[in-house]
Amino acid sequence: MDTETSQPAIIEFIKVNKIYPPDVVALRDVSFSIKAGEMIFLTGISGAGKSTLLKLICAMEHPTKGLIDVQGRELSSITPAEMQLLRQKIGMAYQDFKLLPGLTVYQNIAMPMEVTYTPNRTIKDRINYLLDLLNLTDKKHIRAGKLSRGEQQRAALARAAANYPPILLADEPTGNLDQDNARLVMKLFDQLNRAGSTIIIATHDPLILRDYSAAQTLEIRQGELIKNDTLDN
Ligand SMILES: Nc1ncnc2c1ncn2[C@@H]1O[C@H](COP(=O)(O)OP(=O)(O)OP(=O)(O)O)[C@@H](O)[C@H]1O
Ligand SMILES: [Mg+2]
């Protein structure tokens, strides 16, 4: 345990507040820290602030007050160029997927790898692997806009995982999936986590919370962190 506590944080929130204009308090005084290589569950009922918290980590939203450190950098103080590099290290699977509907599944998943100049052969192998793992091989050349929601969800997860990101953020990743497909997604997370990725899974899926274990479970209620079980286990 001692060696674990001495490890530096890869993500740290210090008294973070997020108010959406004019006056929706989405997060209030949220502080926590996550160590590199941990898998974390983020729970809380609808509207609690889970998606907001994930969007703050990938700087899609900005805090109203407080500090957010990601990979040792305080987000408000980094340059746009540094931010672009940092974003390449974060795989984000959005709750509403954000796939490009006119592009095929293959093209969507290839995007983060193309941005980082991955060789075509590697891109092809990685996509074939991910599609096979997530039971999507027969949809490879279908446009994302034509997929069912569960298929879009898995395609979005494959895109987020494509680059073996050091940080993977997954927002309700099993929300549209049956149990068998949910297990495939958890298998993908487990593989990435073993390969070194730090993973945050926002979920209120009782099966996930029951059947899988995480290094920490962060629970938010009405924007406040009410449970941080790091010290409990
Ligand atoms: N862009 C926005 N503008 C204004 N209010 C917002 C915005 N996004 C979220 N909110 C509000 O902030 C609060 C937290 O929302 P958030 O989406 O983070 O919750 P959540 O825990 O992810 O919920 P769910 O489980 O339904 O996905 C809610 O009250 C929501 O209505
Ligand atoms: Mg949400």
At residue 93, does pLDDT exceed 50?
yes
Q: Which of 55, 84, 90 is nearest to 71 (CA)?
A: 90
In one letter, which amino acid is 85?
L
Going by their DSSP bridges, the two strands 198-202 and 216-221 should be labelled as: unpaired
Under 8 Å CB-to-CB from 219, ≥6 apart: which residues?
Answer: 42, 43, 44, 225, 226, 227, 228
Residue to mutate, 17, 43, 51, ligand 1, most ligand atoms under 8 Å from C-beta: 51
Q: Return the structure tokens found at 73.
A: 């950098």
CB of 26 closer than 6 A to ligand 1?
yes
Say how many CA atoms lie within 13 Å of 31 toward its Cβ. Answer: 4
Beta bridge partners of 218: 42, 228
CB of 95 closer than 6 A to ligand 1?
yes
CATH architecture of 2-231: 3-Layer(aba) Sandwich (3.40)
Q: Which helix (H) or strand (E) holds 52?
A: helix 50-57
- 149 Cα–ligand 1 center, Å: 20
At residue 76, does pLDDT exceed 80?
yes
Confidence band, pLDDT 50/70/90 cuts, at residue 8: confident
**Among residues of the chain, what percentage have pLDDT more than 90?**
92
- 26 Cα–ligand 1 center, Å: 7
Q: What gap in Å lies between CA 150 and CA 173, rounded to an integer? A: 10
Under 8 Å CB-to-CB from 146, ≥6 apart: which residues?
Answer: none
Mean pLDDT of 26-45: 97
- 151 Cα–ligand 2 center, Å: 19
CB of 49 closer than 6 A to ligand 1?
yes
- 25 Cα–ligand 1 center, Å: 9
Residue whose structure tokens are 């895109």: 159
CB of 50 closer than 6 A to ligand 1?
yes
- 138 Cα–ligand 2 center, Å: 29
Mean pLDDT of 123-136: 98
State pLDDT tens for residues 179-197.
999 999 999 999 999 999 9
CB of 51 closer than 6 A to ligand 1?
yes
Ligand nearest to the CA of 219: 1
* Cβ 70 vs Cβ 167: under 8 Å: yes
Residue whose Cα lies nearest atom 8 of ligand 1: it is: 52
At 5 the pLDDT is: 53
- 49 Cα–ligand 2 center, Å: 7
Ligand nearest to the CA of 94: 2
Judge if pTM exceeds 0.85: yes
Nearest ligand 1 atom, CA 202: 22
Ligand nearest to the CA of 47: 1
* Cβ 90 vs Cβ 165: under 8 Å: yes
Residue whose structure tokens are 């969007």: 55
Q: What gap in Å lies between CA 91 and CA 130, rounded to an integer? A: 14
In one letter, which amino acid is 1?
M
Mean pLDDT over each residue of the chain, to the nearest integer: 94
